[in-house]
Amino acid sequence: MPLNNQIKPVNPVVEVDEGAANDTSAIDMGPLPNQVGFMLRLAQLAVFQDFIQVYGTVDIRPAQHSALTVIERNPGIRQCDVGAVLSIKRTNIVPLIDSLEKRGLVKRRQTAADRRARSLFLTDKGRKLMGILDQLRLQHERRVLDLIGEKGRERLLEALSRLTGIVD
Amino acid sequence: MPLNNQIKPVNPVVEVDEGAANDTSAIDMGPLPNQVGFMLRLAQLAVFQDFIQVYGTVDIRPAQHSALTVIERNPGIRQCDVGAVLSIKRTNIVPLIDSLEKRGLVKRRQTAADRRARSLFLTDKGRKLMGILDQLRLQHERRVLDLIGEKGRERLLEALSRLTGIVD
DNA sequence: TATTGTTATACTCTATAACTATA
DNA sequence: TATAGTTATAGAGTATAACAATA
């Protein structure tokens, strides 16, 4: 496969600054617009920003949302397994679950089988919140779909899934 | 367009923890594997990790690489314009350029036209480094191509470019 | 008044090392 | 010895507010 890099312009993801009414269209970005890593950053920045805005009413961040989702679907799951499927290190899961526990959405329990482990469950409040989050998720995903279409979304997810295999 | 979410499993991006020889394949991730934001994070995590590993020999991070690229292609560009095309805020560009200046790769100069602005240039050392970075970039992009192919890469870049328009 | 660069600051995410209690 | 959770800590990246110099 050839590695040709044709140059394409890229618009700033967001208003990067308050004013900044400057003409940046003449700036040569070289291979950046054709570099997957660079474009992944811009896209994630934009999509996460939309996510944070949509979920702003309930003050839930992307990482919190995925943790809640996994705990809801797998009651009693251990912390380290949440980390494994979300690619978050064991050590960084602690403050994440802390934040959810402090807000009364999740509770930790000791397990009988392995007394080292902590089993995670949604509280009633947590389960109730998930109903709202499901609505917000559809709202957010709808805006994604409007931009890239159903077929585009399927192809995108396929490519993203393959890219996660770049490291081993 | 329908918003159906079929469930697909997702492998952890990297070994999330040293040992962790646990079976996480049975964990239900719900809509997460079909959520663009979530998969964007996993893909970016993996691709950036490969980038950082490949560029590790010269100790250059993705943000530094894109700044160097834009400065090389646009000698004398102002700091705020670098920020605009990279979607980095004016305030966060300062320590980024600082790091490149301290390493003797970039120099700031006063401009005659607008005495508020600082024009950015590569030093000889910076220009010399770019030659090496170009080689590393091809090496990194080659691994991306091997995973998704030329056609897949084009479609991916197209979708990512569209997604940057989700916010305005 | 608005813009450019800057400082100070804070929060989130990610990373390593080391501790504890269990297995 | 190895694993699960934890603490402490450090470094990126991103965010807002405020200031000085200049337009």
Q: What is the rounded CA–CA span in Å between residue B120 and residue B76?
A: 5
Q: What is the rounded CA–CA span in Å between residue B164 and residue B151?
A: 20
Which of A 65-84 have CB under 7 A of nucleic chain D?
A: 78-81
| Nearest-by-CA chain A residue for B44 | A40
Query: Is the CB of residue A110 less than 8 Å from the CB of residue A99?
Result: no
The rounded radius of gyration (Å) of the Cα atoms in chain A is: 20
Q: What is the rounded CA–CA span in Å between residue A81 and residue A99?
A: 18
Query: Is the CB of residue A149 less than 8 Å from the CB of residue A128?
Result: no
Query: Is the CB of residue A82 less than 8 Å from the CB of residue A118?
Result: no
B19 strand D contact, CB < 7 Å? yes
Question: Within 7 A of a protein CB, which nucleotides of strand D?
Answer: 2-8, 12-18, 21-23
Nucleotide minimizing C1' to CA distance for residue B21: D3
Residue range A47-51: average pLDDT?
96
Residue B52: φ, ψ to 5°: -65, -35
Give the closest residue to B86 by CA, choosing from A51, A37, A163: A37
Instruction: Output the pLDDT for position A16.
Output: 58
Handedness of CA A76, A77, A78, A83 (dihedral sign): negative
pLDDT in tens, B1-34: 344 443 444 565 655 554 444 688 899 999 999 9
Q: Residues 103 to 162 of A: which have CB under 8 A from any B CB?
A: 137-138, 140-145, 147-150, 152-153, 155-162
Q: What is the rounded CA–CA span in Å between residue A128 and residue A119?
A: 20
Give residues lining strand C (CB < 7 Å).
A 17-22, 61-64, 88-89, 91-92, 95-96, 114-116; B 41, 45, 49, 78-80, 90-91, 93-94, 97, 108, 114, 116-118
Q: What percent of chain A has pLDDT over 70?
A: 86
**Cα torsion for A117, A107, B15, B143, to the nearest 10°?**
170
Instruction: Output the pLDDT for position B64.
Output: 98
Query: Is the CB of residue A17 less than 8 Å from the CB of residue B83?
Result: yes
Instruction: Output the pLDDT for position A10.
Output: 58
CA of B6 to C1' of D15 (A): 36
**Residue ranges in chain B modelled with pLDDT below 50:** 1-9, 18-21
Taking the Cβ of residue B90 and every Cβ of chain A, the question of whether any pair is shorter than 8 Å is answered with yes
Contacts of B12 (CB under 8 A, 6+ apart): A84, A85, A87, B24
Pair of tokens at residue A15:
């208003």
- Are the Cβ atoms of A147 and B153 closer than 8 angstroms? no
Query: Directed axis angle between helix B124-163 and helix B62-73, to 10°?
Result: 110
Q: What's the first-to-final CA gap in chain B, in angstroms?
A: 23
Instruction: Output the pLDDT for position A110.
Output: 93
B84 strand D contact, CB < 7 Å? no
Q: Which residue approaches D15 most closely, CA to C1'?
A: B89
Q: What is the rounded CA–CA span in Å between residue A106 and residue A103?
A: 8
Contacts of A113 (CB under 8 A, 6+ apart): none
Taking the Cβ of residue B70 and every Cβ of chain A, the question of whether any pair is shorter than 8 Å is answered with yes
pLDDT in tens, A89-128: 999 999 999 999 999 999 999 998 999 999 999 999 999 9
